[in-house]
Amino acid sequence: MKSLFKRYPKLCGKIPYLPLGEFPTPILGPLEFQGSRIWIKGDHLASSVHGGNKVRKLEIALAMAKERGAQEILLGGAMGSNWCVAGVIFGKALNFFTHCLLFPQPPSEIRTVNYKFLQTHADKTTHLIHPLLLPPALRWFQSPKTYPLPLGGTSPETTLGYVNAAWELLDQMEEGIIEKPDEIWLPLGTGGTAAGLLLGLEMAHRKDIALHLVRVVDLPLANLWRVRWLAYQARRLLEKLLKQSIPVQPIPIKIHHSAFGKGYGYPTKEGQKAISFFQNHFSLKLETTYTAKAAAMLLKSLNHRKNRKILFWNTYNSQPLPN
């Protein structure tokens, strides 16, 4: 949270926070391709233990669980959930009992790998027959010593992790590590990563940077209203902590829907091609559920608009899962 605290020193000590990651994450590139330049924001290297965008969220979510004296954390998601994997890894490192509530997900490599890990390493797993059963199941298993972590790690509080990430990127721009991008591309799941970046850039009045979000989950969960609402709730939280208003300036934002394919967790042909492209040009491993679909949409956009400076925000872990 260094970059956010640097801009708002009054926040120090007011946001629950555990230093789980290694920040700032690096910038990779640029790659010259079809008349544009592409950089990677390497959140896959957010921790040498386990990377990805969940680390920034868990720094806050697990700190809140500690503050409330919880002994057990509840994690909910699909059978191949990256959120549940990250929660188990960092939760067990902090001596929490980890209980995962899992609903079905279409077959894929990432589902197979993550599900095997969760079956082996989570202290307890409970299987649900449908995602709609997750909210009542979280309430059912709740107790005074149990803390339910939000779905996908997304809440107004955890969104602040990516408000900090936006300021971290601006610091890297000031230091000359990366040129100012015209666009930032990333997958849109439960919305916390996108909302945090949106709010951070709006706080910095960076209307010269557009946010491109590629929807990878069902529309009721991933839409512009929800992203803006999360950003608004996070801003209200900051204003309450600071006891002052925070002026913001809207930035361009667009949600792309056509990369979703058959549904959540279903691989696409375009996504497979994007996996090969990023592996060949950046030595970067993507996965079929989130990052490959976002990368595929980015590459497709290069056919229509040239001479752009693009930052792809990699949200997928690159570290091998612990044995």
Cβ-based burial of 46 (10 A; exposed 0-12, middle 13-18, buried ≥19):
buried
Is the pLDDT reported for residue 303 higher than 90?
no
State how far the Cα of 274 lies from the Cα of 217, in Å rounded to an integer. Answer: 18
Average pLDDT in the chain: 96
Beta strand pairing status for 36-42 and 309-314? parallel
Q: What's the confidence (pLDDT) of residue 243?
A: 96
Q: What pTM value is reported for the model?
A: 0.96
Is the pLDDT reported for residue 84 higher than 80?
yes
DSSP 153: G
Is the pLDDT reported for residue 189 higher than 90?
yes
Beta strand pairing status for 97-103 and 27-33? unpaired
State how far the Cα of 238 lies from the Cα of 7, in Å rounded to an integer. Answer: 12
Would you put residue 213 in left (φ > 0), alpha (ψ -120 to 50) or beta? beta
Beta strand pairing status for 27-33 and 36-42? antiparallel
Cβ-based burial of 164 (10 A; exposed 0-12, middle 13-18, buried ≥19):
buried
Q: What's the confidence (pLDDT) of residue 277?
A: 96
Please name each of the domains of the chain with its CATH number.
2-54+155-314 (3.40.50.1100), 55-153 (3.40.50.1100)
State how far the Cα of 48 lies from the Cα of 42, in Å rounded to an integer. Answer: 12
Is the pLDDT reported for residue 237 higher than 80?
yes
- Which residue is associated with the tokens 């544009």? 36
**Tens digits of per-residue pLDDT, 163-188?**
999 999 999 999 999 999 999 999 99
Average pLDDT over every residue of 137-164: 94
State how far the Cα of 76 lies from the Cα of 125, in Å rounded to an integer. Answer: 10
State how far the Cα of 149 lies from the Cα of 256, in Å rounded to an integer. Answer: 28
Is the pLDDT reported for residue 58 higher than 90?
yes
State how far the Cα of 167 lies from the Cα of 60, in Å rounded to an integer. Answer: 17
For the chain, the straight-line distance linking the first and the last C-alpha, in angstroms and rounded, comes to 30
219's CB contacts (< 8 A; 6+ apart) are 257
Is residue 88 very low, low, confident or very high in pLDDT (cuts 50, 70, 90)? Answer: very high
Q: How far is CA 219 from the centre of its chain?
A: 17
State how far the Cα of 256 lies from the Cα of 224, in Å rounded to an integer. Answer: 10
99's CB contacts (< 8 A; 6+ apart) are 72, 73, 74, 75, 122, 123, 124, 125, 126, 141, 146
State how far the Cα of 133 lies from the Cα of 130, in Å rounded to an integer. Answer: 6
Is the pLDDT reported for residue 158 higher than 90?
yes
Could you give the 3-state DSSP secondary structure of residue 314? Answer: strand
Strand ranges inside 177-280, DSSP E: 183-188, 210-215, 253-256
State how far the Cα of 54 lies from the Cα of 88, in Å rounded to an integer. Answer: 11
158's CB contacts (< 8 A; 6+ apart) are 56, 57, 60, 61, 150, 192
Is the pLDDT reported for residue 91 higher than 80?
yes
Could you give the 3-state DSSP secondary structure of residue 106? Answer: coil
Is the pLDDT reported for residue 6 higher than 80?
yes
